């Protein structure tokens, strides 16, 4: 029973408004997380391409293939037949290795 002079009118509207704000914040967070995951995957693709190109073409080829995939070659190592690269794309870093042998 509602006491005289006290009203619950508008309580549901306030609860709905709070729920909508919470849902909007969750949506923004999910979008940001998805974007970060996409940039990480694109950086890994660029690193893989750069490492494969670096096996036969050296550092210059690795840098070219990183750039073709929208990334920047950050590091390049060759140890025997194995090439390892690090690239950066949209603040996401990725590392890949490749070799021309088994």
Residue 2 forms part of a structural domain: no
- Per-residue pLDDT at 97: 97
What confidence tens digit (pLDDT) does each residue in 76-87 have?
A: 999 999 999 999
Residue 1 forms part of a structural domain: no
Domain encompassing residue 93:
11-99
Q: Is the pLDDT of residue 4 over 80?
A: no
pTM: 0.74
Q: What is the mean pLDDT of residues 53-82?
A: 96
Residue 68 forms part of a structural domain: yes
Residue 81 forms part of a structural domain: yes
**Total of domains in the chain:** 1
Residue 24 forms part of a structural domain: yes
Closest by Cα among 60, 62, 68, 63 to 42: 68
Residue 5 forms part of a structural domain: no
What confidence tens digit (pLDDT) does each residue in 11-23 have?
A: 888 888 889 999 9
- CA-to-CA distance for 11 and 81, rounded, in angstroms? 70
């Amino acid at each position: 029973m509602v006491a005289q002079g006290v009203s619950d009118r508008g309580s549901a509207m306030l609860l709905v408004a709070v729920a909508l704000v919470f849902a909007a914040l969750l949506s923004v967070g999910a979008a940001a997380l998805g974007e970060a995951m996409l940039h990480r995957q694109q950086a890994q693709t660029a690193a893989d391409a750069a490492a494969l190109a670096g096996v036969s073409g050296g550092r210059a080829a690795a840098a070219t293939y990183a750039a073709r995939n929208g990334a920047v070659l950050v590091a390049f190592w060759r140890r025997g037949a194995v090439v390892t690269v690090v690239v950066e794309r949209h603040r996401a870093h990725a590392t890949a290795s490749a070799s021309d042998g088994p």
